[in-house]
A = this chain, B = another copy of it.
Amino acid sequence: MSERVDWPGTALVVGCGLIGTSVALALSVRGTTVHLRDATPGVAEVAASLGAGSAEPPGTAPDLVVVAVPPAAVPDLAACLLREFPSAVVTDVASVKAPVARALGGTADAVRFVGGHPMAGTERSGPMAGSALLFEGRPWALVPVDGTSPEALERVLSVVTALDAAPVVMEPDEHDRAVALVSHVPHLVSVLTAGLLAVAPREHVELAGPGLRDVTRIAGSATGMWLQILDSNAGAVAGLLRSLRGDLDRVLDALDAGGDVLAGRLSDVLDAGRAGTRRIPGKHGDAVTVSNAVVFVPVDDRPGVLSALMADIGESGVNIEDFRIDHEYGRPVGLAQIEVAAERADHLTASLAERGWTPYR
Contact = CB atoms under 8 A, between A and B. Distances in A.
A256 B236 CA distance: 11
A206 B164 CA distance: 17
A126 to B, nearest CB: 11
A307 interface: yes
A24 to B, nearest CB: 14
**Interface of chain A, helix or strand or loop or mixed?**
helix
A204 to B, nearest CB: 4
A4 interface: no
Interface residues of A, number: 145
A219 B272 CA distance: 9
B276 A209 contact: no
A329 B276 contact: no
Interface in A274-332: 274-285, 288, 294, 296, 298, 301-304, 306-311, 313-314, 317-325, 327-332
B203 A273 contact: no
A73 to B, nearest CB: 15
B137 A328 contact: yes
Interface of A: 119-120, 122-124, 128-129, 131-134, 136-139, 141, 164, 166, 168, 170, 174, 177-179, 181-183, 185-209, 211-221, 223, 226-227, 230-231, 234-235, 237-238, 240-245, 247-249, 251-252, 255-256, 258-259, 262-263, 266-267, 269-285, 288, 294, 296, 298, 301-304, 306-311, 313-314, 317-325, 327-335, 358, 360-361
Given A183-B209, A196-B243, A202-B279, 11 more contacts: A131-B360, A136-B328, A136-B335, A166-B331, A177-B204, A181-B196, A181-B197, A193-B276, A219-B277, A227-B263, A323-B323
